[in-house]
């Protein structure tokens, strides 16, 4: 079973907090006791409660406490901080958030949006080393095999090969087969 996603909401409006709670009323979410504002001990609370996602009204950062987003993020670096936006927010401030949840977003999409963010965060956490399987796929690509041929050789589906390819590109920053071949040569995975 997939791990549950711990969600913390920081939002002054009762109506919006309640709305979010009902939209996230699904098995894979756990909602922690929400915050109405950002108390001075917010970083400590976050460090204690370990939420995976913080959905936060960015205007809370402008309040007298002058809390910096960076100190909230530092309390838990793997936490995805989502800006919940329903009024004008300076783009500069907004750009510090991992993603933006617009108040006009379709209710049915909200849960999936959060799942996708967490998934991305987890993938980035895996680091940039190629796994053994990915290395095998890379070597075959470098030798000029098509996805279909690789699937046959490794006894996996073409879909899985393509997932490996996507991960290889994400980790190396290299898209083209020619570029991957160079990567393989430079890492002594194939003979040039």
Partner 1 sequence: MKKHGLYTGRTKMADVVATNHTLILAMPRLGIALGFGERSVQEICHEKGLPVEFVLLIFNVYTFDDYLPDEEELAATDFGPLVPYLEASHRYYLNERLPHIERHLLHVAGSAGERYGTILKCFFEDYRKEVVEHFESEERDVFPYMEGLLHGGQKVERLPSHFADNHTDLVDKLKDLTQILYKYIPSEGFEEELNELVFAILQLSADLEKHAVLEERVLLPYIQQLERRQADEA
**Site residues (vs partner 1, CB under 8 A):** 172-176, 178-180, 182-183, 185-187, 192
Q: Are 5 and 30 in contact (CB under 8 A)?
A: yes
Which residues, at least 6 apart from 85, have a Cβ–Cβ distance to it below 8 Å? 57, 58, 94, 100, 101, 102, 103
| Cβ 176 to partner 1 shortest distance, Å | 5
34 or 179: CB nearest partner 1: 179
Q: What angle do CA 33, 37, 43 make, to 5 degrees?
A: 75
- CA R_g for the chain: 21
| Cβ 189 to partner 1 shortest distance, Å | 12
Q: Is the dihedral of CA 86, 92, 95, 97 positive or negative?
A: negative
154 or 174: CB nearest partner 1: 174
109 or 175: CB nearest partner 1: 175
85 or 181: CB nearest partner 1: 181
| Cβ 59 to partner 1 shortest distance, Å | 28
| Cβ 187 to partner 1 shortest distance, Å | 8
The secondary structure of residue 4, as a DSSP letter, is P
């Amino acid at each position: 079973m997939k791990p549950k996603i711990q969600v913390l909401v920081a939002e002054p409006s009762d109506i919006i907090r309640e709305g979010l709670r009902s939209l996230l009323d699904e098995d894979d979410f756990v909602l922690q006791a929400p915050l109405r504002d950002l108390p001075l001990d917010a970083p400590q609370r976050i460090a204690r409660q370990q939420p995976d996602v913080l959905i936060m009204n960015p205007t809370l950062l402008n309040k007298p406490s002058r809390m910096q987003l960076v100190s909230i993020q530092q309390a838990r670096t793997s936490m995805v901080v989502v800006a919940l936006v329903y009024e004008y927010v300076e783009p500069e401030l907004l750009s510090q958030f991992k993603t933006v949840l617009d108040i006009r977003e379709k209710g049915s999409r909200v849960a999936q949006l959060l799942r996708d963010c967490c998934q991305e965060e987890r993938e980035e956490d895996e680091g940039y080393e190629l796994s053994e399987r990915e290395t095998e796929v890379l070597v075959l690509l470098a030798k000029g095999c098509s996805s279909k041929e690789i699937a046959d050789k490794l006894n996996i589906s073409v879909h899985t090969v393509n997932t490996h390819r996507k991960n290889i590109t994400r980790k190396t920053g290299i898209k083209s087969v020619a570029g991957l071949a160079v990567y393989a040569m430079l890492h002594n995975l194939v003979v040039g």
